[in-house]
Structure 1
């Protein structure tokens, strides 16, 4: 049994923190959570064909959490639109840098950031159709994440039920972890 991932989401120093600092912390936390969920899929006996497939799953989880952060910033934290946009763009840029660094190590030279930004823009339009409430992402919101990961993983015998794992466990757990982390960082 895997140990639960511990997330540090409280500041060491008291005082106000800039949106840039908060964005950096959120990007790092979301990366750790996405990595953990990708590893968890393997632990649940779903099969990755290669590292590219695993990175693509991590990217889908990152985009899902970015959508949650945006909704939370608007709906609960009531951050002004201009600051909310700055925050989400800063998180996305920091996530992209993490993806770039890790992809260089795994796949060699290339510009991995632009593909990530294009995918964020595409998914933002798709996720805009789905509701996010106090209870978290709606069923269609979670189903979309599950569908996208199913497309990456394929429908081999081993991966046939990955959509259920993502919708029933991974998506809701990511929401349960990223929401309090974001609240803590804004305290």
Structure 2
């Protein structure tokens, strides 16, 4: 199943602010992350509950935030880059909070995501990303973290391969293409 993502502005001649672009990127990151979590189920990997599914979505969100940060490095000023990533993260946290409340009830669902993002940011910072995209270890890290979330039961034994070899790379390609289109 292919996810259709609108990645061009309706009025291309109108200038867009960095926060507007960041809002669009956050929305797209959310949609891609949900689509990749659903795809795992379609590939016959098994979620035990909605918390596990939300944890997979959050791992993809962290991955895509890292991709956004790497893509804007060197093409934006440090101030614009900081504004872009801060706004993306803020909008993503709002999505995590809203969906967490819908699924799990009242509570602060954003704070654990912030802790996860901070922890994973340190980990991803050690991994290589260049003009060709994320390195194999970068994708392997995503796959490993999702494998940890999904568990080692028989049905999920090969989820790391699905994420590393297919879903993670596809998420990167879709997100990076959209990222470039939004700045055109």
Q: How would you bin the TM-score normalised by the shorter chain? A: over 0.9
CA drift at 1:20: 1.0
Task: Select the residue among 168, 178, 183 that pairs with 2:180.
Answer: 183
- Map 1:131-142 onto structure 2 (within 5 A): 131-142=128-139
Distance (Å, rounded) in 1 between the aligned partners of 2:88 and 2:53 = 21
Q: How many residues align?
A: 183
- Map 1:16-165 onto structure 2 (within 5 A): 16-75=15-74, 78-165=75-162
Distance (Å, rounded) in 1 between the aligned partners of 2:138 and 2:86 = 21
TM-score normalised over the length of structure 1: 0.96
Task: Select the residue among 2, 5, 8 that pairs with 1:7.
Answer: 5
Which consecutive residues of structure 1, in runs of 5 or more, have no partner in the other structure? Answer: none
CA drift at 1:87: 0.5
Distance (Å, rounded) in 2 between the aligned partners of 1:179 and 1:138 = 14
CA drift at 1:159: 0.3
TM-score normalised over the length of structure 2: 0.97
CA drift at 1:62: 0.5
How large is the Cα RMSD of the aligned pairs? 0.8
CA drift at 1:124: 0.6
